[in-house]
Chains A and B, each alone.
Chain A
Amino acid sequence: MSNEVAQLAQARALAMHNKPGTMLPKVLETAMSLYRSTTNPSTELGKICARLFMDVLNHDEVVSSEKPFIASQHLSTLWLICRSQQDHATLRDGILGFSRCYEWLFDLVAKTSNKELWNTMDQFKSFILSKWKTPYPFSPTEDPLKDHARSLGVKLATVKSIATLVIAHTQGPPGSAFASLPDSHPVITSKAQLRVEAKKLLDCLLSYLSEEPMMVSSLFMGVLNCLGFIMKQRPQATSRILSGILRFNVDNKYQQDDEPVLQYRLAKRFVERCYKVFVQYGLKAQLIKSSGSTSQYHAKLSKISQTLHVIGEETKSKGIMNFESKQVERKMPSRERAKYIAFLKSSSQAASLNTEPKQPRLSPDLQLLHALQKYTMTKSSTAGFFNTSPVAIDNTYASAYSLMNSKHSEIDISKLSPGVMAKLCAESLYQCDTKKIITGLSIVASRYTDLMNKASHSEFPGKRPLENGNDESQPAKRQEVAKVPEEEEISEDEDKQEFTLGPPEPMSKEEKKEHFARILAHIINVRNAEEEEDTKEEAPDNLLHKVRLMKWNSKTSWLTLLTRLATRGVNHNNEMSNTARLAIYEYFLDDFGNRVDVVIEWLSEEWYFETLQNDSGVKETPVYDEWSLKVLDALIPVLEPSHRRLFIRLVSELPRLTQLHIDKIKSVCLDPLRSSLGFQSLRFMIMFRPPVKPFIEKLLISMREQDESVKEQCESILKKFY
């Protein structure tokens, strides 16, 4: 026995170097014949047969046109080997061999109507698919989750086979076997059924990525590679693949209990890299485009790819070994594990039930689930919502949970059959991260609590007058008799009374102040925005009053907003409007040398608005006066001769100056170091602001009498201009 295997191994080695094109097929034939004729063939023999099968199919010197026939000749023996051998390497190579020749054989059956061959292919396929998600050829252990990472070679081969089947059974380009297959083929009787099966198999790969709870990195990467193959061969499947990829969350995968933290960390890093490579491949091959059906995925996947790259670079620069074990470690909590195992059992029972009806029919449950799926996809865009404010539309729990969604979805899940409903709920719960569930439920609970508190608060004042009325209307000595009707009346009212949600409480003064301060902060922050958006659209004549906003400049328009907010928006409330004024005032003082424009514009608005409000004839502007005097009070003590231009501009452009304003300049004139600045501004105003001339005369006379040092200057001005 072993002697024969050794001879075969020698023959194989020899054939590899001497006329492999003709010798290898002969060695393969000899090996396969030996296997069929041997009772209880050894593992070694099975292994060498599987390997030879692959060698022949992949060797360059074996004539390509002969390969399908060679495969056809030996497939039944390969199938016999795979179903009878328990060796991992043999199975892996056998499954890969089947995948290698599947499309050739499909084409051969299509052309020759070889029913026997087709039956063998079908059995082999069913066998392979039945082993997916099992540790076959090994026996399951007590820990099902650990089994997920066992027999990975066979699983990688199975994934590849599934990809091959998806490609072979999906409509391909003209000339492909499937495209050429007539609907009335005598042996391959249901083309449509094969197409449906292909979609199911594709979903099988996609759901593995999103549903597998453990970090089985080798298999995740194997699946990503195979999805790349499918995308390339059958581009019409790209959208489905990409939407599945987006549900693949590497961060949610758990560490095996006996897995070292470093291994888990490396595994995660490997998968993230593979994800990035997959996206880059799709982009370069023009399979993921920014236009067409994949455009909705293009931006998201590009962003994810970049993020993963950055994460990888950070990890590398920090040092692969430099990490906190406690932070990285992520083992599955016992509760989750128990849930998942229970789910596995129930789903396996459901699966066994599902296999009984062979004909797939679109049951009402499926229709409803499809509708739900469509709705979920539409939710990704906000186009459908006219009101984006998330407020519960009524007091039902559903509304509290989903806020404005309840009316939009219009899908009544209660119509689903109890079995499907239970499965759907279980599936949702298992796929969610525990922390997210807790957070979500807490949010809903707090919403509901708030809702109930508001309701009870609104009811309370309504009850009180009723009770008071009852008490007052009853005479004192008839109390004992009246108790019974009182209770009855109250209960009746409660029963009849319809529930109404109370109106929201008006904001308290403190809340208003706080809210207004926040608004001011936002407006002031606008000035820090870097982008200047000068929209220079021409406005129609009747919109002239809106031109200012249409020519928005984020660096200066904020002042207009704040100014008009102070002068018009909230002028009915002194406290709030003064808060806005104070914001501008303080902004000016921060850098008065460069911000005199700001204060002039603001004070001009103040003056203008007050003038509009005044009755004809009255020219008093108390608010303007108050704040302009404040500006002078703050400014004058810090003025220096170098601020001459600034100060003169201010006094020349302020819309209104009273005697009080002019008198403020006295301290500048009397200061020996700054008197030139003071007197210059006075001369300027005398020449260019005639209305204030009398005020200045009064000031000059007063200063002349008060201080001997400025007497000459005062007299010279008085002589010249008065």
Chain B
Amino acid sequence: MSSERNQSLKFCTVCASNNNRSMESHRILKEAGYNVSSYGTGSAVRLPGLSEDKPNVYAFGTPYNDIYNDLKSQSVERYKSNGLLEMLDRNRKLKRAPEKWQEGLKVFDFVITCEERCFDAVCEDLMSRGGQLNKIVHVFNINIRDDNENAKIGGKAILKLADTLSQKAAESEDSGEPFEDCIMGIVTEWQELYPHLPLLYSPGYY
């Protein structure tokens, strides 16, 4: 029952490259039983390269498996030590390829971004789509630093938020209390639990 209820709400996690933060959150939410997708808002997928000033750049849509093999061919030792190979291995088990937010057509109830610039990009994109579908969407930002450890910490915080939102949505179905009236209370409680992860929120329309 709870698993079924969770599936009815559609979640989406967003970061810049759809590789680290959004995928870690994607994995955590998926394992918790949520219906979740993930995207990136950047112009391309950027991953650390052999030298700091030469990142690896791929187009969105390039399969994770291809990226994985490309990095292996460059240097197994280097990319194993900095965790990229492990990250890509995780990603290819979740879905085929990184996806670009601006090109996505799916509709979600909740969008959770991991960086303020991504939050702005999502909100602006929703404005530019014109609200034709007339569906309310709730966009949140949880500022997560883009490294392995912080992505894991952020992922747990996002799960907590998703759990609270999901639970409140279910309660609203039963009690008739408007879900939208409770969101500010939910984010306030959440912010008190995670004071070091600044949160932003905005309702939007598809």
List A residues at the B interface (Cβ < 8 Å): 43, 54, 58, 87-89, 92, 96-97, 99-100, 149-154, 156-157, 160, 163-164, 217-218, 221-222, 225-226, 228-229, 232-233, 260, 262-263, 266-267, 269-270, 273-274, 276-278, 280-281, 284-285, 315-316, 319-321
Contacts and interface: CB of A to CB of B under 8 A. Distances in A.
Interface magnitude class on chain B? 35 or more
Interface string B130-166: 1111111000000100000000000000000000000
Contacts of A260: 188
B124 A281 contact: yes
Contact of B198 (A150, A153, A233, A320): A320
Question: Which 10 A-B pairs have CB atoms at the shortest separation, nearest pair first?
Answer: A228-B127, A153-B180, A152-B180, A263-B188, A100-B134, A321-B195, A96-B134, A281-B124, A88-B178, A99-B134
24 contacts: A92-B180, A96-B135, A97-B134, A100-B133, A100-B134, A150-B178, A153-B136, A153-B180, A153-B181, A225-B202, A229-B127, A229-B205, A262-B188, A263-B188, A266-B187, A270-B202, A273-B119, A273-B202, A274-B202, A281-B127, A285-B128, A316-B143, A321-B191, A321-B195
A278 B195 contact: no
B201 interface: yes
Contact of B201 (A151, A160, A164, A270): A270
A156 B203 contact: yes
A334 B203 CA distance: 31
Interface of B: 107, 119-120, 123-124, 126-128, 130-136, 143, 172-173, 176-181, 183-185, 187-188, 191-192, 195-196, 198-205
A274 B176 contact: no
A189 to B, nearest CB: 27
A163 B130 CA distance: 10
A92 B205 CA distance: 13
A88 B120 CA distance: 30
B124 A277 contact: yes
Contacts of B196: 319
A232 B191 contact: no
Nearest to B194: A320
Contacts of B119: 273
Contact of B128 (A221, A232, A269): A232
A39 to B, nearest CB: 22
Contact of B176 (A88, A160, A226): A88
Contacts of B123: 225, 274, 277, 281
A43 B188 CA distance: 31
B131 A229 contact: yes
Contacts of B177: 88
B134 A262 contact: no
Nearest to B121: A277
Given A151-B181, A222-B203, A156 B136 contact: yes
A273 B123 CA distance: 10
A275 to B, nearest CB: 10
A164 B132 CA distance: 9
A263 B177 CA distance: 20
A154 B130 CA distance: 19
A150 B188 contact: no
A319 B195 contact: yes
Contacts of B128: 228, 232, 281, 285
A225 B120 contact: no
A154 B120 contact: no
Nearest to A282: B127
Contact of A154 (B131, B178, B202, B204): B178
A320 B195 contact: yes
B199 A266 contact: yes
Nearest to A149: B181
Contact of B107 (A58, A150, A267): A58
B136 A157 contact: yes
Contacts of A222: 203, 205
Contacts, number: 132
A263 B189 CA distance: 9
A233 to B, nearest CB: 6
Contact of B180 (A43, A100, A218, A321): A218
A319 B197 CA distance: 9
Chain A at the B interface: SS class? helix
Contacts of B124: 277, 280-281, 284
A270 B127 contact: no
Contact of A150 (B130, B181, B202): B181
B24 to A, nearest CB: 22
Contacts of A153: 136, 178-181
A160 B187 CA distance: 24
A278 B178 contact: no
A535 B195 CA distance: 56
Contacts of A164: 134
Given A260-B188, A320-B191, 13 more contacts: A92-B136, A152-B181, A153-B181, A154-B178, A156-B136, A160-B205, A232-B127, A233-B130, A266-B184, A270-B201, A284-B124, A320-B198, A320-B199
Contacts of A154: 178
A218 B183 contact: yes
B200 A270 contact: yes
A345 to B, nearest CB: 25
A156 B180 contact: yes
Nearest to B138: A218
A263 B185 contact: yes
Contact of A229 (B120, B130, B143): B130
A257 to B, nearest CB: 15
Contacts of B200: 269-270, 273
A696 B143 CA distance: 83
B127 A225 contact: yes
Given A100-B134, A229-B130, A280 B202 contact: no
A285 B119 CA distance: 18
A277 B184 CA distance: 20
Nearest to A232: B130
Given A89-B172, A150-B178, A226-B205, A160 B134 contact: yes
Contacts of B195: 319-321
Nearest to B132: A100
A384 B136 CA distance: 48
A221 B176 contact: no
A89 B127 contact: no
A218 B185 CA distance: 12
A260 B190 CA distance: 13
Contacts of A89: 172-173, 176, 178-179
B131 A160 contact: yes
Nearest to B185: A263
B10 to A, nearest CB: 13
A221 B205 contact: no
B184 A267 contact: yes
A281 B195 CA distance: 29
